[in-house]
Amino acid sequence: MQHGARRMKNMRARPTNVAREPAIASANFEELMARTPAVEKNLNPGEKRQVSFAQVLVFELRVRNAMTSPPITALPTDTMRSIQHLMKAHRISGVPILANEVLVGIVSIEDIINALDGGYINDPVEKRMSRKIVTLRDHFSLVRAVAEFDRHGYGRFPVLDANNRLVGIITRGDVTTCLMHHLERRAEEAIAKEAALAAVRAADEKAPRIVINADVKSGDFESAGKLSQRMREVLRARGVVPDIRRRAAIIAYEAETNIIIHSLGGHITATIDAKKVRIKAVDNGPGIENIELAMQEGWSTAGPLARELGFGAGMGLPNIKRCADKFSIQSELGIGTQLQATVFLQKAEVTL
Amino acid sequence: MKLKSANKLPSALAAAEATPLTELTGIELTGGYISDLLSDVLANAQPGVLWVTIHTHRNILSVASMKDIAAILFTCGRKPETAIIAEAVEKGILLLSTPLSTYETAGKLWKAGLR
CB contact under 8 A, A322 and B43: yes
Whether A189 maps to a domain, the answer reads: no
Q: Which of A151, A184, A217 is the last residue of a domain?
A: A184
Its ipTM equals 0.74
| B25 three-class SS | coil
CA-only gyration radius of chain B, Å? 12
What is the mean predicted confidence (pLDDT) over A276-292?
Answer: 91
Q: Tell me: pLDDT of B51 over 90.
A: yes
Same domain for A123 and A216?
no
Whether A304 maps to a domain, the answer reads: yes
Instruction: Name residues whose C-beta falls within 8 Å of residue A166's C-beta, 6 or more positions apart in sequence.
Output: A71, A73, A96, A98, A101, A103, A158, A159, A160
B65 interaction partners in chain A (CB closer than 8 Å): 229
Same domain for A158 and A237?
no
Same domain for A104 and A234?
no
Domain span at residue A21 reads 4-184
A322 interaction partners in chain B (CB closer than 8 Å): 43
Same domain for A137 and A216?
no
Same domain for A277 and A216?
yes
Summarised one tens digit per residue, pLDDT across range A183-226 is 888 888 888 888 888 887 777 677 788 999 999 999 888 888 88
Q: Which of A84, A75, A137 is nearest to A108 (CA)?
A: A84
Whether A192 maps to a domain, the answer reads: no
| A269 three-class SS | strand
Q: Are A117 and A42 in contact (CB under 8 A)?
A: no
Same domain for A118 and A252?
no
The domains located in chain B, with CATH, are: 9-111 (3.40.1390.20)
| A292 three-class SS | helix
pTM of the model: 0.54
Whether A167 maps to a domain, the answer reads: yes
| B38 three-class SS | helix
Whole-number pLDDT of residue A231: 93
Q: Where are the alpha helices (DSSP H) in A101-171?
A: 109-118, 125-128, 142-152
Q: B61 or A296: whose pLDDT is higher?
A: B61
Same domain for A30 and A158?
yes
CATH number of the domain encompassing residue A258: 3.30.565.10
Summarised one tens digit per residue, pLDDT across range A42-72 is 445 444 455 666 677 777 889 999 999 899 9
Summarised one tens digit per residue, pLDDT across range A104-149 is 999 999 999 999 999 999 999 999 998 888 999 999 988 889 888 9
What is the mean predicted confidence (pLDDT) over A262-277?
Answer: 92
Cα A269 to Cα A243: distance, rounded to the nearest angstrom: 21
Whether A118 maps to a domain, the answer reads: yes
When CB atoms are compared, the residue of B47, B66, B68 closest to A250 is B66
Banded pLDDT at A4 (limits 50, 70, 90): very low
Instruction: Name residues whose C-beta falls within 8 Å of residue A65's C-beta, 6 or more positions apart in sequence.
Output: A142, A178
On whether any CB of chain A is under 8 Å from the CB of B59, the answer is yes
Q: Are A285 and A307 in contact (CB under 8 A)?
A: no
Cβ contacts of A212-216, under 8 Å, gap ≥ 24? A212/A269, A212/A270, A212/A271, A212/A272, A213/A267, A213/A268, A213/A269, A214/A256, A214/A267, A214/A268, A214/A269, A215/A265, A215/A266, A215/A267, A216/A256, A216/A259, A216/A260, A216/A265, A216/A266, A216/A267, A216/A268, A216/A281, A216/A283
Total structural domains in chain A? Answer: 2
Same domain for A176 and A237?
no
CA angle A200, A269, B61 (to 5 degrees): 90
Same domain for A73 and A167?
yes
Whether A349 maps to a domain, the answer reads: no
Same domain for A32 and A147?
yes
Whole-number pLDDT of residue A51: 60
When CB atoms are compared, the residue of A228, A232, A319 closest to B39 is A319
Same domain for A212 and A89?
no
Cα A24 to Cα A8: distance, rounded to the nearest angstrom: 17
Same domain for A177 and A211?
no
Instruction: Provide the residue type at A211 as one letter.
Output: V
Whether A334 maps to a domain, the answer reads: yes
Neighbouring CB atoms inside 10 A of B14's CB total 12
Pick from A76-80, A184-188, A292-296, A308-312: least confident: A308-312
CB contact under 8 A, A254 and B59: no
CATH number of the domain encompassing residue A69: 3.10.580.10
Q: What is the full DSSP assignment across A193-208?
A: HHHHHHHHHHHHHHSP
CB contact under 8 A, A322 and B39: no
Q: Tell me: pLDDT of B101 over 90.
A: yes
| B42 three-class SS | helix
Whole-number pLDDT of residue A223: 83
Q: Counting one residue from A and one from B, how many pairs have CB atoms under 8 Å apart?
A: 66
Banded pLDDT at A29 (limits 50, 70, 90): low
Residues of A with CB under 8 A from a CB of B: 221-222, 224-225, 228-229, 232, 242, 246, 249-250, 253-254, 257, 309-316, 318-319, 322
On whether any CB of chain A is under 8 Å from the CB of B38, the answer is yes
Check residue A298 and give left, alpha or beta (phi > 0: left; psi -120 to 50: alpha): left
Whether A230 maps to a domain, the answer reads: yes
